[in-house]
Amino acid sequence: MVEFAVETWAGRPWVGVTMRAELARWAEANAHVPRIYAALAADGTAPLGGPIYQYHRLQRAEDPMDITVSVPVAHERDLGAGFATGTLPAGRYLVARPEGGPDALADIHRQLWDWAAVQGLELAIDERGDGIHWAARTEQFLTDPQAEPDRSRWEVEVAYLLR
């Protein structure tokens, strides 16, 4: 059973790559992860954890979505062309940390939305004609796949900024 919690977070700086991605071609988004870590190493900047997938806009699951693949850092860093930098906003987040890796995520997102509605929590979203726009919706991988190859045992932090 996955537990849900409301947590107050400070801003979380990151370095990453912003793109349009499709679930059917997710390997293209994942390919940026080692590139970001390599750029951080070349810059002498230590990462503060596993990759974070930030979802900005989505219409339907089968449509391309606007995302940022990022890595948390202590301070925003300019790594040059091809990289973006920013800070996840401070605030109250609805959070779950399920095991099950990528295979569990679709179900966890549905459960989070349902739980938020039952609790009377309002997600920081804006529904427009071109889809749902999130102020902050993230998935951070907490388990190193090289240390734990069984993806059913991976832990992921799923978080939505609340209004």
H or E segment and range at residue 86:
strand 84-88
pLDDT of 100 > 90? The answer is no
CATH topology assigned to domain 4-161? Multidrug-efflux Transporter 1 Regulator Bmrr; Chain A (3.20.80)
Over residues 10-15, the mean pLDDT reads: 98
Q: Quick: pLDDT tens for 38-53.
A: 999 999 999 999 999 9
Higher pLDDT among residues 110 and 61, named by residue? 110
CA distance 16 to 20: 13
CA distance 134 to 86: 15
Who contacts 86 (Cβ-Cβ below 8 Å, separation ≥6)?
13, 14, 68, 70, 76
pLDDT in the model for residue 36: 96
Alpha-helical (H) ranges within the chain are: 26-30, 32-43, 105-119
CA distance 158 to 102: 11
Give the amino acid at 59: Q
Over residues 4-23, the mean pLDDT reads: 96
pLDDT of 156 > 80? The answer is yes
Over residues 65-84, the mean pLDDT reads: 96
Band the pLDDT of 161: cuts 50, 70, 90: very high
